[in-house]
Amino acid sequence: LVIGVLALSVSISMMIRSTPASYGLELFEFDPFFNFRATEYILENGTDAYFNWIDEKSWHPYGRNVSETSQVTLHLTAASLYPLFNFGSSVYDFTILLPLVFGSLTAVVVFAFVRVLGGTTAGLFAALIFSISVPIFTRGLIGWFKSEPLGLFFAFLAIYLFVSGFKFNKGKISLIKLITAGFFLSIGLSAWGGILFFVIPIVLFY
């Protein structure tokens, strides 16, 4: 039943988020296309070149220091996953599909997080609500290669590990969970500035 409901949540989320594909598989708006260019630059030139890249096509006439002024984690994650999961697709098509995948899989992480707090039933309801939440899926549609889908995924994963580590005190295992939570929270912050909304309750907790 749990696996079935989670599969339903992910499927519903994918169906809703993929609706813009009826107009064609394209990136839309400026930022997603810039993030595609940055991902492509890493794959073609390597990470060292990326961290020294002054993009002369942006912020004319001075150029843009990309690694200092953009979501580095988004670019590095996409570039790292592309060789493993491209299945013969181009970098452009891969970046179109990536927000759809991460946005939909976040429903599973939401389930895990809420399950720790309120049990399995609450977790399943949370996953279903997340999958149909309008403010959430409108910022994670197919072609929306921006920071929110990846950032939310890392944020909920970090919060799940954080709460699980404290609630189930298992010594070294809990310590590993808390350290891993800090790691995902840090890289999540580099992927999406909205992670600060997840940091606030942790700070209040301490």
Query: pLDDT tens digit string along 176-191?
Result: 999 999 999 999 998 8
How far is it, in rounded angstroms, from Cα 175 to Cα 195? 22
Helix 30-45 to helix 72-85 angle (10° resolution) is: 60
- Which tens digits make up the pLDDT trace of 86-121? 999 999 999 999 999 999 999 999 999 999 999 999
Report in angstroms the alpha-carbon separations of 35 from 9, 45, 127, 133, 184: 28, 15, 28, 25, 20
CA distances for 10 relative to 50, 116, 149, 168, angstroms: 34, 20, 14, 27
Q: Phi/psi of residue 192, each to 5°?
A: -155, 125
* pLDDT-above-90 percentage for the chain: 79
Q: What's the mean per-residue pLDDT of the chain?
A: 93
Element (DSSP H or E) covering residue 65: strand 64-65
Alpha carbon of 162 to those of 90, 124, 138: distances in Å? Answer: 37, 20, 27
pLDDT band at 57 (very low <50, low <70, confident <90, very high): confident
Q: How far is CA 106 from the centre of its chain?
A: 8
